[in-house]
Structure 1
Amino acid sequence: MDADAVRSVGREPHGSSDDPAVLDFSANTNPQVPEGTREVHVESFDDARRYPAEPPREYREAAASYVDCAPEQVVPTPGGLAAIRLAVEVTLSPGDDVLLPAPSFGEYGREVRLQGAAPTFVAHDALLDVAPEQYALAVVCNPNNPTGDAYDDGELRAFADRCRASGTPLLVDEAFLGFTDRPSLAGTEGVVVARSLTKLFGLPGIRAGFAVATGDLLDALLAARRTWNLGTSALAVGRHCMAQTAFVEATRERVRTERERMAAAFDDRFAVHPSDAPFLLLDVGERDVAHIVEQVRERGVVVRDATSFRGLDSHVRVAVRLPEENDRLLEALADV
């Protein structure tokens, strides 16, 4: 991290509300958790009296099975954002140029600037057409946040091939990929995959995730990773959740059917961006976004003001939750 850059880089806005009196559609976390998760968390307390195993072999094995890679390729991290930071730290130097998608997750640009590097923003749906040779790092969000659309697997792998041929590391943020049946790029040479357990398993407060890499990139990530960077409870809960294949399949089906239902309901009032993710991006047109956000909050619902994303000035983003909760959102937005 560049000492001079740190003092000039601000924070990025995010969704989520800690107000228990409202129904939160501003954060894209699963409203359900796998059965038995609470019990695993409680039972891990006694083990937390000791330092966790280092490296955490069982967690790496669970992650490897989860994304179909080798356990030794897994680098445990406290959440997906920590995996992103680690990848950025080991690949960038001050003055480097980095290829980033827009609109997309605002933390990419922040992490790049913290290293003293310079982000170059390209439309997320045109990024795979860019020649990567001039960049020290390229970043892809799949599915993209906040638009929700996923890249074609063949096109993404072809871009990874071009990055590898040019010596440009590719960072693929797969925070929402678990909501789809698309394959991960985990284990692909020249690629760092960042995975989060926050979204799919509904556990934003238990910081658990991992990176996957090979070769020199893997060696750098393992060397830079902090010892004991995941607590005992996060390791135990993460292992448990990543093994819950039936929960994952049920979640994917619920999100798909509810997303289609919501998109159809919104279609006569807003421009709805096609989505493969557990959220929808709505273009509200000439309506005032801030007014809409405030209006629905008065009705007990929180939506994400998406104007904080680069290039968006008339959008809100809404999560896909449980059917009865989604009905409340549809009602809250019915006459705005």
Structure 2
Amino acid sequence: MSAPIVHGGGITEAAARFGGRFEDWLDLSTGINPRAVDLPPVPLQAWHRLPDNLTIDSARAAAAGYYRTSGIHPLPVPGTQSVIQLLPRLVPAGRRVAVFGPTYGEYARVLTAAGFAVDRVVRAEELGPEHGLAVVVNPNNPTGRAFHPADILAMAAAMKANGGALVVDEAFGDLQPDLSVAGHVAANDNLIVFRSFGKFFGLAGLRLGFVVASDAVLEAFGERLGPWAVSGPALVISTALMSGDTEAIAAGILERRAGLDAVLDDAGLKRIGGTGLFVLVEQADASALHQHLCKAQILTRKFDYDARWLRIGLAPDAEGDQRLADALRHWNTLRPGEC
């Protein structure tokens, strides 16, 4: 297996390098709702006993309604990463894999480690009969690039004609439900959709995701993950939240995104992409800016494959926006060599 990818959220490591207590840091390195939602009541039985069929089925039914899956009951999984690890099992021997990128690096890492040749592609026209699996993150992380559902379905049809499957990762899709193809999986048995629960609801530590796919794929994934892969409390919490009113949550995220946009624009940073949960900026000296912000105990996400990029997530409140604004104002008074 290749070296682990450095993801966002490494506050402990940043604090060890740049100083400060964990709680002093402002973490803008992730694409997670900075305001975790209020947790619904979780009965003691959910903690005390293994999840029963009723608990699991209730979560799957709630997910079917929330993701509008046209009758398919999504499979709950312990985070999307758990099923990314299973993707090599879907690739026919001797076939290549296409990953639309640049994007979340775990797809290429896992598939390459399993011995498959991975092609980084940009356009649908690059998919060919040599590809047994294609992966597209929609909207994309970190660029925010989005494919229209009709284009996704055309890709799925092209892959099916060559005996291949298409995985669509909609981890950041909650704020753009019009982009989702989850409702088309029932009519396209080679289409697989991954959904993340924790990002939109601000509960990433719950480690919960859902897979929308054909019965055969869901059964195969479920068998590989084994019984009770998702905890009872996670199932209870997701059932309640996905069955409730999410408009206020979405409005809160968009308000926080507007605050971030205003700070970045005022600082003169170039916004080149993003989703409702983060912004991608382009800066010639992005690494120096990243370090400058770390010295102010503000963590952003830099990229080893493009030294000009920083991904900046949402602050939890206006005070966080102001803290970022002050650090950027200080940056603009310094020469890059002094940071």
Where on the TM-score scale, by shorter chain, does this alignment land: which range?
Answer: 0.7 to 0.9
In the other structure, the counterpart of 2:3 is 10
**Distance in 1 between residues matched to 2:83 and 2:258, nearest whole Å:** 31
Is the contact made by 1:96 and 1:117 (CA closer than 8 Å) also made in structure 2?
yes
Secondary structure of the 1:177 match is: coil
Unaligned runs of 5+ in 2: 13-21, 332-339
Native 8 Å contact 1:148 1:277 kept in 2? no
C-alpha RMSD of the superposition: 2.3
SS state of the match for residue 36, structure 2?
coil
- SS of the equivalent of 1:138 reads strand
Which of 279, 290, 300 aligns to 2:287? It is 290
Aligned to 2:260: 262
Task: Give the match for residue 331 of structure 1.
Answer: 326
Matched, 1:52 2:51: yes
Equivalent residue letter for 1:303: T
Name the CA distance, whole Å, in 2 between partners of 1:46 and 1:252: 31
Q: How does 1:199-278 map to 2 (within 5 A)?
A: 199-245=199-245, 248-260=246-258, 262-263=260-261, 265-267=263-265, 269-278=268-277
| Range 17-26 or range 158-167, more displaced | 158-167
Structure 2 counterpart of 1:29, which letter? I
State the shift of 1:167 in Å.
Answer: 2.1
Written as runs of structure 1 = structure 2, the 5 A alignment for 1:126-205 is: 126=123, 128-186=124-182, 187-188=184-185, 189=188, 190-205=190-205
Between structures 1 and 2, the one with greater helix share = 2
Give unpaired runs (5+ residues) of structure 1.
Answer: 1-7
Question: What displacement does 1:116 show?
Answer: 1.9
> Alpha carbons of 1:230 and 1:215: their partners in 2 closer, same or farther (altered >3 Å)?
closer
AA matched with 2:220: A
Note the alpha carbon deviations across 1:136-178, whole angstroms, 9 max, x for none.
1000001101112322222222222222233210001111001
Deviations 1:171-222 (A, max 9, x none): 0111100122324212421211111111011111111111010254344334
1:254-298 CA-to-partner distances (Å, cap 9, x unmatched) read 43454355335434633211333311111112x2x3322221122
TM-score, normalization: structure 2?
0.84
Match of 1:26?
29
> In the alignment, which residue of structure 2 is the partner of 1:3?
none
> Distance between the aligned counterparts of 1:329 and 1:129, measured in 2?
41
Pair 1:153–1:108, CA change in 2 (3 A): same
* TM-score for both structures, normalised by structure 1: 0.85
Distance 1:79 1:183, change over 3 A: same
In the alignment, the residues of structure 2 paired with residue 93 and residue 155 of structure 1 have an alpha-carbon distance, to the nearest angstrom, of: 24
State the alpha-carbon separation in 2 of the partners of residues 96 and 154 from structure 1. 26
How far is the alpha carbon of 1:322 from its aligned partner? 3.6
**Structure 1: distance between partners of 2:224 and 2:327:** 47
Q: Which amino acid aligns with 2:28?
A: F
Do the aligned partners of 1:93 and 1:115 also contact (CA within 8 Å) in 2?
no
Shift of the alpha carbon at 1:68?
Answer: 1.0
Three-state SS of the structure 2 residue aligned to 1:156 is helix
Task: Report SS of the residue matched to 1:274.
Answer: strand
Structure 1 residues 80-95: aligned runs within 5 Å? 80-86=80-86, 88-92=87-91, 95=94
Distance 1:102 1:263 in 2: 24
TM-superposed CA distance for 1:69, in Å, is 1.6
* Structure 1 residue aligned with 2:313: 319
Q: How far 1:93 sits from its partner (Å)?
A: 5.4
| Structure 1 residues 51 and 251, CA gap change in structure 2 (3 angstroms) | closer
